[in-house]
Amino acid sequence: MIQPRRIAYQGEPGSNSHAVCEREFPQLESVPCASFEDAFAAVERGDDEGPSADLALIPIDNSLAGRVSDIHHFLPTSGLHIVGEHFHRIRFSLLGVPGATLDQLQTVHSHVHALGQCRNVIRELGLEPVISGDTAGAAREIAEAADPTRAAISPPLAASIYGLDVLREDIEDEDHNTTRFVVLSREFIVPPRGSGPMVTSFIFNVRNIPAALYKALGGFATNGINMTKLESYMVGGRFAATQFLSEVDGHPDDPGLKLALDELRFFTTDVKILGVYPASPERR
């Protein structure tokens, strides 16, 4: 395996993705990307022209908002593989320019999801919500505006990066707001069987006929395999076939999972293993 040097993430410096990169991969250079597509491309292109990275850290699920839909379309065709997972408790702070006070505030800026996850404090302070493209970008915009009547809802890391004051901490409505991130690599790295709890992620297609999914998944039940994710989405705008993204506990070389995958292939098409990686202890 090539020793990684850079890790790409979607968002501006100070975002939750950036915070996870700094926490989990402090030895790597974090590379901000404007979009998920750019983050995927940074790893796909390797050392060619343009920004490049060895790994990407991408959010895939959130305990409140559900799946991050764009990712499920990029993953199957990207040529990248999942090599790890990390969970991050989402915390938001209310940030203002130095010297600003709560009673001065009139508007609050953030990503639409963050505004929706912090309704209580917005209502309490009587603020007008303003949608920004990114939580960390909102902090940058507030710093550039230097207006004490404007605040940002952003991760705490953004305060130190953009020189803002934390006017209130932990303002999210729910204390279980957690995002699951996956680590993507060009290399298909499979840990050896028996090296701890594993997760196997894969995709498959089924024809849109009665009992197709029932038959495809029967092998997991009969072989005692715990399936932790099963999500469907249309492919290419067609209604005649459906693609599924699934995750199960176990290693493909485990006898039970090996039999279940063999049976899956019999009843489906385009089965592709996206990754085999250690299960995070935070799954509990």
Q: Which neighbouring-strand residues pair with 250?
A: none
CB atoms near residue 170 (< 10 Å): 11
Q: Is the pLDDT of residue 89 over 60?
A: yes
List, for residues 29-53, the tens digit of each pLDDT value: 999 999 999 999 999 876 555 568 9
Average pLDDT, the chain: 92
List, for residues 142-153, the tens digit of each pLDDT value: 999 999 999 999
148 close to 99: Cβ distance less than 8 angstroms: yes
pTM higher than 0.85, yes or no? yes
Q: What is the enclosing helix (H) or strand (E) of 66?
A: strand 66-67
84 close to 105: Cβ distance less than 8 angstroms: no
List, for residues 96-124, the tens digit of each pLDDT value: 999 999 999 999 999 998 999 999 999 99
DSSP secondary structure letter of residue 4: P
pLDDT above 70 coverage of the chain, percent: 95
**Which residues does 46 contact at the CB level (< 8 Å), separation at least 6?**
52, 186
Tell me the catalytic residues: 179, 181
